[in-house]
Amino acid sequence: MDKERKLIIAGNWKMNKTVAEALDLVQGLKRELGSVKEVDIVVCPPFTAIAEVSKAILDSNIRLGAQSMSEHIGGAYTGEIAAGMLKEFSVRYVILGHSERRQYQGESDALIAKKALAAHAASLKPIVCVGETLNEREAGETEAVVARQLQLGLARLSKAQMEETVIAYEPVWAIGTGRNATPEQAQTVHAFIRRSLAAQFNDAVAKRVRIQYGGSVKPANARELMGQPDVDGALVGGASLEIRSFSDIVKNSI
């Protein structure tokens, strides 16, 4: 598949995997995907497995991401993890504003904007998640919701920082439900996101930013989703927990 932008497929393991399970998974992914050059492959383990996974993927084509981080650089923030701490383990990416964190931790767009800036300050590339709920979609508010999340969540970034930021479009109703957006639905919103980025930054920046789709991505729907002109990768939850399904998603996307 020939795309304007290099695909980036990331596995969001969420609150799953002991260290031993995490190592089994990445060893398997190294075996299955070791020769893949066409796709940037990223795994996002829980914090407790980051150190060991980091060692296990040294000298491989698999990159490391975190699932969240603090907006602060350090200090009295019990339970938080700073960008600089992630850098110690060669973490390259960090997921920000996942809908589960917006929902359960009450993360706001303003907070996500601070985190995105803190990530760039430490040379981590944020994967900023946006997406509407089912109620919002049914009320015809999808574009308004996504526009607001982009406008506020990316408000502090320079053009250069934006180019090094990944957007993940994850309709909330498609996450963990088995019900993915159709390729047409995804493409429509991805194109809208790119137009919004052009207005907020400029055309050149918008053309370079990679926009992942997330929400019930599986081996069976990966090819069609990745085939859309503005879909530049995937953020995969459930199907990233098994060697077979995650590696098939990557292989089916090439």
Would you name the residues annotated as active-site residues?
A: 98, 170
Based on the shown chain and the rule CB under 6 A, indicate whether residue 105 belongs to the binding site for ligand PGA: no
Provide the residue count of the chain: 254
Based on the shown chain and the rule CB under 6 A, indicate whether residue 217 belongs to the binding site for ligand PGA: yes
Residue with the CB atom nearest ligand PGA in the bound state = 237
Q: Which of 66, 128, 235, 250 binds ligand PGA (CB under 6 A)?
A: 235
DSSP one-letter string for 65-118: EES---SSSSSS-TT---HHHHHTTT--EEEES-HHHHHHS---HHHHHHHHHH
Based on the shown chain and the rule CB under 6 A, indicate whether residue 238 belongs to the binding site for ligand PGA: yes
Based on the shown chain and the rule CB under 6 A, indicate whether residue 97 belongs to the binding site for ligand PGA: no
Q: Is 23 exposed, middle or buried (0-12, 13-18, 19+ CB in 10 A)?
A: middle
Binding-site string for ligand PGA from residue 1 to residue 20, where x marks contact by CB under 6 A and - marks none:
-----------x--------
Identify the CA nearest to 174 among candidates 223, 129, 120: 129
Nearer to ligand PGA, 17 or 201 (CB): 17
Q: Which of 131, 153, 215, 233 binds ligand PGA (CB under 6 A)?
A: 215
Residues in region 174-213 near ligand PGA by CB under 6 A: 175-176
Based on the shown chain and the rule CB under 6 A, indicate whether residue 214 belongs to the binding site for ligand PGA: yes
Helices 243-253 and 219-226 pack at an angle, to 10 degrees, of 30
Nearer to ligand PGA, 97 or 237 (CB): 237
Based on the shown chain and the rule CB under 6 A, indicate whether residue 170 belongs to the binding site for ligand PGA: yes
CB of 158 to ligand PGA, least distance (A): 27
Instruction: Provide the CA 176 distance to its chain's centre, in angstroms.
Output: 15
Q: How far apart are CA 149 and CA 58, in angstroms?
A: 35
Encoded tokens for 154: 């990316």
Q: How far apart are CA 219 and CA 80, in angstroms?
A: 34
CB of 98 to ligand PGA, least distance (A): 6
Kindly report the backbone phi and psi dihedral angles of residue 225, in degrees, each rounded to the nearest multiple of 5, phi listed first.
Answer: -65, -50
Based on the shown chain and the rule CB under 6 A, indicate whether residue 233 belongs to the binding site for ligand PGA: no
CB of 237 to ligand PGA, least distance (A): 2
Q: Which of 43, 146, 237, 247 binds ligand PGA (CB under 6 A)?
A: 237
CB of 77 to ligand PGA, least distance (A): 25
Nearer to ligand PGA, 96 or 236 (CB): 236
Q: How far apart are CA 231 and CA 224, in angstroms?
A: 10
Encoded tokens for 109: 């767009």
Q: How far apart are CA 22 and CA 169, in angstroms?
A: 26
Interface residues with ligand PGA (CB under 6 A)?
A: 12, 170, 175-176, 214-217, 235-239
